[in-house]
Amino acid sequence: MNTQRVTMVTGAASGIGCATAVRLASRGDTVIGVDRNGEGLDELVARIASAGGVAHGITADLSVSGSAKAAVDDAVSRYGRLDVLVSGAGITRRHTVVDTTDAEWDEVIATNLTAGFWLARAAVPVMQEQGGGVIIIVASVWGIVAGPAVAAYAAAKGGLVNLARAMAIDHGPDGIRVNAVCPGDVDTPLMRLEMSLVGDDPEATIPSSAQGRPIGRIGQPEDVAAAIEFLASDDAGYITGATLIMDGGWHAGG
Catalytic residues: 153
Is the Cβ–Cβ distance between 240 and 137 less than 8 Å? no
For residue 180, CA distances in Å to 37, 135, 166, 210, 218 come to: 24, 9, 11, 23, 20
Strands of the sheet with 133-138, listed across from one edge: 54-59, 30-35, 6-10, 84-87, 133-138, 176-183, 243-246
Specify which residues 33 forms β-bridges with: 9, 57
The dihedral of CA 26, 122, 66, 180: what is its sign?
Answer: negative
Site map (CB under 6 A) of ligand NAD, residues 132-151, x = contact: ------x-x-----------
Residue among 93 and 177 whose Cβ is closer to ligand NAD: 93
Could you give the string, one character per residue 56-95, with x where binding to ligand NAD holds by CB under 6 A and - elsewhere?
-----xxx------------------------xxxx----
In whole angstroms, the minimum distance from the beta carbon of 220 to ligand NAD comes to: 10
- Least distance in angstroms from the C-beta of 72 to ligand NAD: 14
Residues 89-108, interacting with ligand NAD (CB under 6 A): 89-91
Task: Examine residue 14 and tell whether it contacts ligand NAD (CB under 6 A).
Answer: yes
Site for ligand NAD in 210-229 (CB under 6 A): none
Q: Given the rule CB under 6 A, which residues bind ligand NAD?
A: 11, 13-17, 35-37, 40, 61-63, 88-91, 111, 138, 140, 183-186, 188-191
